[in-house]
Amino acid sequence: MSDDLWLSAAECNQLSPDADYGSTIDNLEALYATSIELKCWKPESVSMGRIDPGQLLDDPDDVDGDAKVESIRESVRTGAPVPPCDHRSPFG
């Protein structure tokens, strides 16, 4: 992909389906008053070290998010593999 390629949320979801697409779109519309067609997303790989831990859990009322984060933490602590996204799982 070109370094200057910007995509809409809908296009990103076609390239890499997002298990939380509905809430992503809700936030895009409610918090930023924009549409899913706005080309404001840039696909790129980011190393784990560049991710601000605050970005991983930024909603204190997000019970599902808390459970997802704790599940990942437990997998890392025990050395268990972190499973891929499974839409049948309660952790999406």
- Cβ atoms 40, 12 nearer than 8 A: no
Q: What's the total number of domains in the chain?
A: 2
pLDDT band at 89 (very low <50, low <70, confident <90, very high): very low
Q: What is the model's pLDDT at position 35?
A: 84
Who wins on pLDDT, 87 or 54?
54
Please check whether residue 87 lies inside any domain of the structure: no
Return the percentage of the chain with pLDDT > 90, whole number. Answer: 5
Please check whether residue 28 lies inside any domain of the structure: yes
Q: What is the pLDDT of residues 13-53, one digit of tens each?
A: 888 888 888 888 888 888 888 888 889 888 777 777 777 77
Distance CA 80, CA 72 (A): 9
Q: What is the model's pLDDT at position 29?
A: 87
Please check whether residue 72 lies inside any domain of the structure: yes
Q: Are residues 58 and 36 in the same domain?
A: no
Amino acid at 78: T
Give me the domain span that covers residue 16.
Answer: 1-42
Distance CA 12, CA 16 (A): 6
